[in-house]
Amino acid sequence: AQRVTQPEKLLSVFKGAPVELKCNYSYSGSPELFWYVQYSRQRLQLLLRHISRESIKGFTADLNKGETSFHLKKPFAQEEDSAMYYCALVGISARQLTFGSGTQLTVLP
């Protein structure tokens, strides 16, 4: 069974501070990991995926297979980063998309 855990339901940081949103997964194999973001009144959209290894809007995420984690990081948070963030997993064989419960990030001025 595949499972994604986001331990923080709510996270608040001040503008300019570093931010880390935690994500742990369980999957018996090599999954593909994603971060999706939902800004207020917008549809859920892909932020980044681990295979592309790119930085989007200053966010990065590194897949740690030893710790089965895929934490999302940004060195200097901005107010426009305030949104709901979901970590997600796709199994290579099953190709079913499984989401974590989400973390509501609020960046304070």
Partner 1 sequence: EAGVTQSPTHLIKTRGQQATLRCSPISGHTSVYWYQQALGLGLQFLLWYDEGEERNRGNFPPRFSGRQFPNYSSELNVNALELEDSALYLCASGDKMNTEAFFGQGTRLTVV
* Positions in the binding site for partner 1 (CB under 8 A): 32, 34, 36, 43-46, 49, 86, 88, 90, 94-102
DSSP assignment of 52-92? G---BTTBEE--BTTTTB--EEESS--GGG-EEEEEEEE-T
Nearest distance, CB of residue 75 and partner 1, angstroms: 26
DSSP string, 14-38: ETTS-EEE--EEE-SS--EEEEEEE
> Shortest gap between Cβ of 66 and partner 1 (angstroms)?
23
User: Which C-beta is closer to partner 1: that of 15 or that of 99?
Assistant: 99
Nearer to partner 1, 2 or 69 (CB): 2
